Structure 1
Amino acid sequence: MRRLFVLIFAVAFCIKATAQAPVPTFDAHKLNISWQAVQNNYQNKAESLNALVITNTGKTTLPASGWKLHFNSARGIASATVSGNAVITKLNGDLFTITPTATFTALKPGASATIQFVSDELVINFTDAPEGIYLVWDAQPEKGYATGDFTVLPFKPNYPGLVTPAIIYNQNQKIQDVPEQQLTKIFPTPASYKETTGTFNLTADVQFTTDGKFSKEILGFEADLQTLFGKKLASKSVANIISLKYKDGLGDEGYELSVQPTAIIISATNAAGAFYGIQSLKTLIPAAAYAHAQKIVEIPCVEVKDQPRFPYRALLLDVARNFQTKEQVLKLLDVMALYKLNVFHFHLSDDEGWRIELPTLPELTQIGSQRGHTLDSKIFLPASHGSGPETGRLAGSGFYTRADYIEILKYATARHITVMPEIETPGHARASIKAMDARYRRLMAEGKQAEAVKYLLRDLNDKSEYNSVQYWNDNVIDVSLPSTYTFFETVINDIAGIYKEAGAPLNTIHFGGDEVPAHVWEQSPAYLTLKASHPEISGTGDLWYYFYGRINQLLKDKGLTLAGWEEMGLRKTMLDGKAAYVPNPDFTPYHLQTEVWNNSIGSGQEDLAYKLANAGYKVVLSSVTNLYFDMAHYKSFDEPGYYWGAFVDIDKPFSFIPYDYFKNTSVDRDGLPINKSIFIGKQRLTDYGKTNIAGLQGCLWGENIKTPERMEYMIFPSVLGLAERAWAQDPQWATEPDTTKSSAMYQQAWANFLNVLGKRELPRLTYLNGGYSYRIPKPGVMMRGGEYKANMQFPGFTIRYTTDGKDPDTKSKVYNDAVIVTGNNVKFRAFDNKGRGGNVSE
């Protein structure tokens, strides 16, 4: 007995001693870490061998054990490392840990250790690197410490479809340089445009007149001109007049613009048309005028009659994965308005964040807007997408206060932009689930059980096991619970109240609907209870229609319509013995709005948008192949972005044919040529289906967008291709049946578009609102006959080069003609008018 007592005491003492083990004094900031892709197709599999090199730059030793490194990765990683000195464990979502094994040796000052591991995908670009690495001591598991510098080392893989400077050069050679005087000077391209003789000399004493209908639009334009001239307008001139006049029959957004030497007349039927006439006038202003305050601006005389092709011209911004500030949103709205985009799809919630303050449910932002190191997600959400261990830091943490959101709404409304909020459900909903869990715990602790369960979004006894596409195992709302609908009714009411206070239109709320994984709800007691009382529910798949039927009714009761991703309008069924999706006839009478992203080439869903439109659904084309701006521009290691759906350079939105995107689809998701036979048997768009295509939407998902600069790099100038296709009339090259003629017509239109961007619109964005960090493509470079030749996708930019291996800067030599040098140290780089450079070609 005594021996047993001694043993128990000894064990207890050891446990206590372990629990009280001191936290090492080592400074985690002294760990510099680099990542390098070592080999693709490792062991002849579609996998990659990678290496993390950990270097101790401090003056004390990193212990051999007693710690873990946490990091985020969008791809799966094998737990056993090739180097054997660590084990990698997936926690949840994109969060992983690295734990040293017995073979890991203490890291002395100045020493390095390499951990080699296998990823389940090939490395294509630097976005494939892990991110957000931080250290956690075993003795202090609740605290995370940011490490030092993280470096992604270059990788030059040899894979099919790699875009080289030589390939870029050959592509650019087809681009004709068009003299600026021959370019259409209004963008997007008007339906009818004619230049006449003379110019209108715009000065700060210009006088505005209106019949009273368009006074708000004049006020907005006056503010723009004050910025242009750097002072208040005098409004004294009787010679130079800008008049806004009502004219019947020009349509909801149509206008006429007449620029004469002594007057500018904008005619429209409604305020939106008048506003777009003003935007066209603004693009007539030479781009150089925005560089500094002007005394006089010469505007060419033109006669224009214009109206949009599509009524729905949208841009989605995801701020849930990574947050963007109110100021950055307002800056984006300015450019959307200039280029006549009229719907701002605001993706406000997802697994990794809830970004709008709602007065009834404060936990949504208290819990759901913050990310940091956590063991249980009870106080805030875990680190995702490289956000690191500390809360309160952009871009992982942040939200819009009620006042912020109202300001955004007013700003958008003044620019004739409708803000459509998206609340992701039932999948992609971990932030809201964890927030309502926190509310439940708080109220239960106060003894308020009825109030505690009022907004619960999961059955506490649900034992279902699942994994989402993004690896989450607890991110799906239980649609069987009555409290789920109480939650959504409250969310709808709060959002509607905010819009009402802002005086902003709210017609639609987007309720997500995509990527709900298999096996959800299967072991939910709430589901089994609901199934017993609803004979129409025979399996969990039927919960889909039950859920969206109820959400649709909640919105209808408020006079609102339902929008969602394509899955919302689909029904699971069996086709030729295989699982398949078909348009759900139950929702067809409601003409619900479906935003269809999945036309990934080779996926089998290339015609999904056309199926839904033909079936009667209102369809917004958000095609991943052409309109996902978070996709990498092309296959090159130095180009940021995902590429699972496609590579999307600026030619993709410009060349998009909404009514027949099969016609000019030439490459698959990997950028490799396709066999057109894959479109045989696919549904084509019927004449009835065409009436259901509401418009186009570009999408910027935020997983990789951590800074305003990266946001602008990915959006601009691709969004200008979207603006052209959504506003301008159907181009002749898109409908010409003769492929040879069509190709020639397209090439001329493409050259004109690039010249307009390079010589007018990108220089404008260089200076407008302090400047936008649009993507400056790397030059094409070809070595031929001992000479280096270079060219640029956008005519009008300056190319500079070096021959000493250093990256070119604004002091480097200007490229004018072929460069004759020996050796391989030649580098080329393009610069804008401000001296900002793009990626380097070498």
Structure 2
Amino acid sequence: MNQILSKLLLILATALILISCQNEQQQKGIFLNYRIEHFDTQNDQMNVELSITNHSDLSIKSSTWELHWNQMKGEIIPSSLPQGVSFERINGDYFRLKFSDDYSLKLGETLKLKCIQSGVMDRLAMGPLGVFIVHDEKAFDLQTSIEWKEAKGVENLHFMDAEDRYMEYQDISPLSTDALSWVVPYPKISHFNNTYTQAAPSLFLKIDDEFSKDFKTIEAGLSELIVLSDKSKSVLHLSYDNNLKSEAYTLEIKEQGIYISASDLRGVFYASQSLRQIFSIAILEDKGWPILIIEDEPRFEYRGFLLDISRNFYGKEEILKVLDLMGLYKLNTLDFRLTDDEGWRLEIPDLPELTSVGAKRIYSSTSNTSLLPMYGSGANGSPTSNGYLTREDFVEILKYAKKKQINIMPQISFPSHARAAIIAMEARYEKYMAMNQSEKALKYRLRDGDDQSEYVSAQRYTDNVICICNERAYTFFEKVYSELQNMYNDAESTIERFSIGADELPYGVWTSSNDCLEFLQHNSSNVSNIEELYVYNLKRLKKLFDRDQVELAGWEDILLDHSEKSQSETAIRKETFNYEVIPYVWNNTWGEGREDMIYKFTNMGFKTVMSNSSAFYFDMSDDRDMDNHGLNWSGFVNYFDTWGTNPTDVFGNSYLNQKHKISDEYKNNKVTLDREKAQNLIGIQSQLWTETARSKKILEELLMPNLAIFAQRAWAPEEKWMTEKNTRKQQSQMFTAWNHFVNTIGQRSLPILTILDIDVIYHLPKPGALIENDSLTIKRLFPGMEVKYTIDGSLPTAEAETYTKPISISKGSLVQMGSFSSTGRAGKTISIQN
């Protein structure tokens, strides 16, 4: 009997393998080649050819079939299609082509289709993603390739070549490590005279009585840096100094030991993070411990980072890694974007649809069973399109953040950017209506089923705004808020500030909603129009938060008039909410007239946070390069733009003014920060929106070293060049300081991540190169990074030649080069031909 059972199991296993292989071939055996024939930048369009080749066992014929995909730049012009093929924008940037019975794709066949697309795809990340075919109610993904290099007009995209990068790096040269900083962000004061003492194997911890209540916390944190032993002859003395501000510390390394002073636990923690870097650099450079004195305190009280896990999801461990990096660089607030149109990423008890539907992006022929397959999710979802944090995950994250002295501000977008919540609650509504439980079905429904309002959001959705005219919206929000409070309580933490996001509310919402017309005609709050309705919504939410002494935060949009001007609106609402609402001011694109909005709010009396999209958005592509990830609606934002922006004077950098063509006349018409109100600018925040971060690798490349560079602006004191009014002197001082900083990042900050056991795939920028008189010179953005090269046209590997000095190159040679990490990981290559 056992032998028969074993044979049956073997046959079954073999059959399953064969079926699996067949399915895999069906999914991988049909290919799409997307070839751009002409980049017509003058008319902002492209001529393209789609070639679909069938090498699978599946023959597509006899019935209508469809091609689905996402594309951020490039939308097919329907009139350019042949008869029998129709184009449709389903929603957002989700498209499909429908083929009539005249079009088949039999085994071995290739179907070619030429068309014109409006918009120009200037990065692969903007192109067709997540391509799949729907046939006979089944969907399967296609492998996709993109051809663009031979297209007519490609030169008009002005991509950065090796010579362009060489010129961009011309002010960068290697410095001796003796001249570099031991800590990033730079301390306020640091004294180091190139003398060292032998690293102690252990330290004896001595703590003043004022810190005794936190002894276990301090001991646990310091134990992660070094062995603590009562028998050690070297001391680690922690002193309480009431004269130091909150978060400030002093740190002195002597031959006898290490001496730290602080007035609170945060100061102790930040001193330990400086030590963490110093110890790692000592190991890296094998020099022992530096004898030095540091006196340090932050420039800004608020030092934030926004992580968007709604567009793409990365799991709990990745978030813990982000928190570790934030702690290392002394950032103190995580603005945690948990929800958006494309994902709801947190389990909420009693509302399972929020994650069973709202955390899943796949193709479905049935509405409201999942979200649309956006951002390259494909037919069956991608590794980052689906998933969510369980309640237990979130509590663990809160506890870890507390260890790292980081406050987590939850961001639940309301009422805009809410499509995931709307669709999830619509699924719940349909479920209970099918069970004839209408009261339960309606309880959390977020949509007015009869709403005929027409609007298009910034991401081109037509159904992503909650109907705030019905009490159900507030029942839903209060449920989510209550469950979040419970999670914070379980983590022994508190919600200090809650962000409702609420940016990019489309013009036209609620105007043809029966629920809203009814509310405007019959309400006891004297709300008579849409503008007043939105203020009423904010007041209700603020009242809820006030009950728990929680601050209400949101993007600056919540304080601006809602008009047809949309994101170009600059008129501030008359309603100030007693200046108790905190605007996060993000929309600062150079030359569009909103660079000074942060100062307008600050001078009025609002506590403000600068989130400048033209400086602190890590998801903005750094330059013109088809390989780059990120967007560029706020311009191209590179590392220098982040480092070179002075938050208290955005027009103070003469080089950036020149780069962005900002005239004196334009600048002089803008509002500046009133120095008497400067304390209202409580800090700055960086953002990483994840539309194009479709893997953990991409996420981490966008995160680092961006996070370290941003931290320099958030913590380090105002630099000398920032107040220099003479353009020539300012730029000379500035580029000297920039060279020092990029050397510190390249030679120390990035290499020590391995020693710190922080496994992060940081960005390796392409090098620049110049060939003159058959001599090749290579420059890199971060001195300390190795550059490997070949001269035979092959791609460089870790075994390729390392560039150390100019080399002779024969005529016709094709040089391929790329940056490499200290562990041998390769960045993207760039070439130059003699």
Q: CA deviation at 1:242?
A: 1.3
- Measured against aligned partners, the alpha-carbon deviations of 1:522-562 in whole angstroms (never above 9, x if no partner) come to 11111112211357434223222111111111111122110
* C-alpha spacing 1:133/1:687, structure 2 compared with 1 (3 Å): same
Aligned-partner SS, 2:392 = helix
Distance 2:755 2:702 in 1: 18
From 61, 64, 69, the equivalent of 1:63 is: 61
**Aligned residue for 2:276?**
282
From 121, 130, 133, the equivalent of 1:132 is: 130
Q: 1:351-750 alignment to 2 at 5 Å?
A: 351-390=341-380, 393-534=382-523, 536-572=526-562, 580-664=569-653, 673-750=661-738
Aligned-partner SS, 2:627 = coil
**Aligned residue for 1:3?**
none
Aligned-partner SS, 1:593 = strand
Q: 1:801-816 alignment to 2 at 5 Å?
A: 801-816=789-804
Question: Contact 1:429–1:477 at 8 Å: present in 2 too?
Answer: yes
Q: CA deviation at 1:371?
A: 1.3
Distance 1:319 1:25 in 2: 29
Q: 1:237-316 alignment to 2 at 5 Å?
A: 237-287=231-281, 289=283, 298-316=288-306
* C-alpha spacing 1:46/1:193, structure 2 compared with 1 (3 Å): same
Distance 1:653 1:586 in 2: 33
Question: Contact 2:71–2:129 at 8 Å: present in 1 too?
Answer: yes
Distance 2:40 2:657 in 1: 20
Aligned-partner SS, 2:742 = helix
Q: In structure 2, what residue type is equivalent to 1:561?
A: E
**Aligned residue for 2:329?**
339
* C-alpha spacing 1:574/1:358, structure 2 compared with 1 (3 Å): closer
Question: Contact 2:131–2:144 at 8 Å: present in 1 too?
Answer: no
Distance 1:163 1:749 in 2: 25
Distance 1:155 1:263 in 2: 64
Q: CA deviation at 1:826?
A: 1.2
Distance 2:654 2:421 in 1: 39
Question: Contact 1:198–1:260 at 8 Å: present in 2 too?
Answer: no
* C-alpha spacing 1:781/1:64, structure 2 compared with 1 (3 Å): farther
Aligned-partner SS, 2:638 = coil
**Aligned residue for 1:147?**
142
Q: CA deviation at 1:664?
A: 2.1
Question: Contact 1:626–1:653 at 8 Å: present in 2 too?
Answer: yes
Question: Contact 2:74–2:118 at 8 Å: present in 1 too?
Answer: yes
Aligned-partner SS, 1:403 = helix
Aligned-partner SS, 1:244 = strand
Aligned-residue sequence identity (percent) comes to 31
Q: How many residues align?
A: 801
From 157, 161, 166, the equivalent of 1:164 is: 161
From 92, 113, 116, the equivalent of 2:114 is: 116
Q: CA deviation at 1:131?
A: 0.4
* C-alpha spacing 1:803/1:618, structure 2 compared with 1 (3 Å): same
- Measured against aligned partners, the alpha-carbon deviations of 1:433-481 in whole angstroms (never above 9, x if no partner) come to 1111122222333333223222221212211122212121111001111
Question: Contact 1:552–1:562 at 8 Å: present in 2 too?
Answer: yes
Question: Contact 1:631–1:647 at 8 Å: present in 2 too?
Answer: yes
- Measured against aligned partners, the alpha-carbon deviations of 1:36-57 in whole angstroms (never above 9, x if no partner) come to 3332226x41122233332222
* C-alpha spacing 1:552/1:709, structure 2 compared with 1 (3 Å): same
Q: In structure 2, what residue type is equivalent to 1:355?
A: R
Question: Contact 2:789–2:815 at 8 Å: present in 1 too?
Answer: yes
Q: CA deviation at 1:580?
A: 4.2
Q: CA deviation at 1:668?
A: 8.9
**Aligned residue for 1:224?**
224
From 178, 185, 193, the equivalent of 1:188 is: 185
Q: CA deviation at 1:62?
A: 3.9
* C-alpha spacing 1:574/1:399, structure 2 compared with 1 (3 Å): closer
Aligned-partner SS, 2:357 = helix
Question: Contact 2:196–2:287 at 8 Å: present in 1 too?
Answer: no
Q: CA deviation at 1:151?
A: 5.0
Q: CA deviation at 1:512?
A: 1.0
**Aligned residue for 2:320?**
330
- Measured against aligned partners, the alpha-carbon deviations of 1:4-31 in whole angstroms (never above 9, x if no partner) come to xxxxxxxxxxxxxxxxxxxx99924211
Distance 2:161 2:664 in 1: 26
Q: CA deviation at 1:380?
A: 1.6
Distance 1:574 1:134 in 2: 36
Q: In structure 2, what residue type is equivalent to 1:831?
A: F
* C-alpha spacing 1:290/1:783, structure 2 compared with 1 (3 Å): closer
TM-score by length of structure 1 reads 0.90
TM-score by length of structure 2 reads 0.91
Aligned-partner SS, 2:134 = strand
Q: In structure 2, what residue type is equivalent to 1:63?
A: K
**Aligned residue for 2:11?**
none
Q: CA deviation at 1:168?
A: 1.2
Aligned-partner SS, 2:648 = coil
Q: CA deviation at 1:350?
A: 0.5
Aligned-partner SS, 1:582 = coil
Q: In structure 1, what residue type is equivalent to 2:685?
A: Q
**Aligned residue for 1:774?**
762
* C-alpha spacing 1:118/1:574, structure 2 compared with 1 (3 Å): closer
Distance 2:529 2:62 in 1: 52
Question: Contact 1:204–1:235 at 8 Å: present in 2 too?
Answer: no
- Measured against aligned partners, the alpha-carbon deviations of 1:776-803 in whole angstroms (never above 9, x if no partner) come to 1111111212222211111112112112
- Measured against aligned partners, the alpha-carbon deviations of 1:417-439 in whole angstroms (never above 9, x if no partner) come to 01111001111101111111122
Question: Contact 2:590–2:660 at 8 Å: present in 1 too?
Answer: no
Q: CA deviation at 1:272?
A: 0.2
Distance 2:194 2:719 in 1: 27
From 784, 800, 805, the equivalent of 1:796 is: 784
- Measured against aligned partners, the alpha-carbon deviations of 1:648-681 in whole angstroms (never above 9, x if no partner) come to 1111110011011122275699x76444543342
Q: CA deviation at 1:59?
A: 5.1
Distance 1:57 1:793 in 2: 44
Aligned-partner SS, 2:120 = coil
- Measured against aligned partners, the alpha-carbon deviations of 1:189-223 in whole angstroms (never above 9, x if no partner) come to 11111015643434443222223244244334345
Q: CA deviation at 1:236?
A: 4.6
Aligned-partner SS, 1:521 = coil
* C-alpha spacing 1:196/1:209, structure 2 compared with 1 (3 Å): farther
Aligned-partner SS, 1:485 = helix
Q: In structure 2, what residue type is equivalent to 1:653?
A: T
Distance 1:665 1:94 in 2: 38
Q: CA deviation at 1:515?
A: 0.9
Aligned-partner SS, 1:272 = helix
Distance 1:739 1:367 in 2: 56
Distance 2:283 2:302 in 1: 31
1:98 partnered with 2:97: yes
1:832 partnered with 2:821: yes
